[in-house]
């Protein structure tokens, strides 16, 4: 039985984003292991017939050492690292080991989206090592913009690259729910609380629309993050919502129930994402969406078809797009139906898993670690 080791960033993220892939690989005949902090003590992995390998936290050198030790212990035929950070770590850690390497570049994140001197210096330091980490690997990109950027920078070669848009969505779990008629409309932004997600833009757009007398509730769902250098703090969030223009719901675990109540979904991100899962979930729920004309976001929303695209960091443009759809229920309904169709035909978890397993079938002689 071939062995697959998934190297990921967080167990919560594994259960929410990558369980279908692990199950699909297991059902296709792989012995599946998961390497992550807390994976070694997660009892639910064994219930799904997965193996857990603990990756303790630490500085980058410590994590590299632990990852290499884990790969040696697991002896996988394929190591699949997910996110740019873990592609970097697992790629370096597996050099010299006889395992095929697959990396999913699930967005380019802070390293390639951050402004200012710090991310520029970081890129200059990291990119030579990143090129080494990605060498002799199969690379899965979630949007063509990220693929082009790494190709243009010489960090990837065309023959390495595969485009698989997102981690997929369970279209049975996330399915349209008839909305009860009510006087007040609602606009929902589900997000991680990171500045680049456009939280402040959403709040300002809500203020603009409140000042225009628009009768709608504006809600934001997301918990405080401690793992991102640009995370929004509790005090910053308290300040942003103090005037009452936006209702902050905090962390919400039942996403289908949350999205079911929304008249439409707004997501003004300017973060370098792969394909935001919240947009796929909103689409599967049959929601019209307003998001940015930005890498990743425009993969899930086609302007004028299942939503509207607006420029990044432009609260007035966001407000104008939101009110356009709030005032046109027929168009909103049509876009919602189109969203559902797009999710089922192009972004279902079943389809994404099939595409990923196809990458695993490539000739391993071309991706064995060097």
In the prediction, which pLDDT does 110 show? Answer: 65
State yes or no: pLDDT of 116 exceeds 80.
no
Enter the tokens of residue 93. Answer: 């850690």
Mean pLDDT of 174-202: 89
Q: How deeply is 302 buried, as exposed, middle or buried, from its count of CB atoms within 10 A (0-12, 13-18, 19+)? A: middle
- Lowest average pLDDT, out of 109-123, 154-168, 215-229, 319-333, goes to 109-123
Among 268, 277, 216, 225, residue whose Cα is nearest residue 247: 216
pLDDT bin (cut points 50, 70, 90) of residue 68 is very high
> Could you say which DSSP state residue 356 is in?
H
| pLDDT band, very low/low/confident/very high, at 113 (cuts 50, 70, 90) | low
How far are the Cα atoms of 37, 72, 100, 126, 198 from residue 65, in angstroms, in the given order?
Answer: 14, 11, 19, 18, 36
Domains and CATH numbers, the chain: 3-168+349-365 (3.40.50.2000), 185-346 (3.40.50.2000)
Secondary structure of residue 265 in the 3-state scheme: strand
pLDDT of residue 58: 82
pLDDT of residue 367: 41
Q: Looking at the whole model, is its pTM more than 0.85?
A: yes
Please report the sign of the dihedral spanned by the C-alpha atoms of residue 174, residue 180, residue 181, residue 182. negative
pLDDT at residue 363 greater than cutoff 50? no
pLDDT tier at 178, thresholds 50, 70, 90: confident
* pLDDT band of 365, cuts 50, 70, 90: very low
Is-contact 241 207, C-beta < 8 A? no
Instruction: Decide if pLDDT at 194 tops 80.
Output: yes
Average pLDDT of the segment spanning 332-337: 97
Tokens coding 305 = 């078809």
Task: Check residue 141 and give its pLDDT.
Answer: 96
* Per-residue pLDDT tens digits for 211-235: 999 999 999 999 988 777 789 999 9
Q: Render pLDDT for 241-293 as a digit per residue (tens, 0 to 9).
A: 999 999 999 999 899 999 999 999 999 999 888 999 999 999 999 999 999 99
Neighbours of 303 (CB within 10 A): 13
**For residue 23, what are the contacts with CB-CB under 8 A and spacing of at least 6?**
48, 353
The pLDDT, as a whole number, for residue 181 is 66
- Are 160 and 135 in contact by the 8 Å Cβ rule? The answer is no
Per-residue pLDDT tens over the stretch 32-42: 999 999 999 99
Q: Would you say 137 and 91 are in contact if contact means Cβ atoms under 8 Å apart? A: yes
Which ranges of 218-287 would DSSP assign to H, the alpha helix? 234-240, 255-260, 277-284
């Amino acid at each position: 039985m071939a062995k697959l080791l998934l190297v990921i960033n967080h167990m919560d993220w594994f259960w929410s984003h990558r369980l279908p892939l692990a199950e699909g690989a297991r059902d296709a005949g792989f012995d599946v292991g998961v390497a992550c902090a807390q994976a070694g003590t997660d009892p639910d992995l064994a219930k799904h017939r997965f193996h857990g390998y603990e990756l303790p936290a630490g500085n980058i050198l410590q994590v590299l050492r632990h990852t290499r030790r884990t790969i040696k212990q697991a002896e996988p035929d394929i190591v699949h690292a997910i996110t740019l950070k873990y592609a970097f770590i697992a790629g370096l850690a597996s050099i010299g080991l006889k395992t095929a390497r697959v990396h999913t570049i699930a967005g380019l994140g802070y390293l390639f989206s951050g402004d200012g001197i710090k991310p520029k210096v970081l890129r200059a330091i990291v990119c030579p090592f990143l090129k080494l980490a990605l060498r002799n690997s199969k690379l899965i990109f979630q949007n063509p913009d990220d693929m082009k950027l790494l190709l243009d920078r010489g960090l990837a070669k065309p023959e390495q690259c595969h485009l698989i848009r997102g981690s997929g969505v369970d279209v049975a779990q996330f399915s349209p729910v008839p909305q009860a008629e009510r006087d007040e409309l609602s606009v929902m932004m589900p997000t991680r609380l990171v500045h680049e997600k456009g939280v402040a833009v959403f709040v300002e757009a809500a203020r603009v629309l409140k000042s225009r007398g628009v009768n709608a509730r504006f809600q934001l769902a997301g918990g405080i993050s401690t793992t991102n250098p640009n995370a929004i703090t509790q005090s910053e969030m308290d300040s942003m919502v103090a005037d009452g223009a936006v209702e902050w719901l905090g962390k919400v675990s039942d996403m289908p129930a949350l999205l079911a109540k929304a008249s439409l979904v707004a997501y003004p991100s300017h973060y370098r994402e792969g394909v935001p899962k919240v947009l796929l979930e909103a689409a599967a729920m049959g929601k019209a969406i307003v998001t940015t004309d930005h890498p990743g976001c425009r993969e899930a929303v086609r302007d004028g078809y299942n939503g509207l695209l607006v420029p990044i960091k432009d609260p007035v443009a966001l407000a104008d797009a939101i009110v356009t759809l709030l005032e046109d229920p027929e168009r909103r309904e049509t876009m919602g139906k189109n969203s559902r169709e797009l999710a089922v035909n192009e972004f279902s978890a079943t389809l994404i898993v099939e595409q990923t397993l196809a990458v695993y079938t490539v000739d391993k002689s071309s991706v064995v670690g060097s």
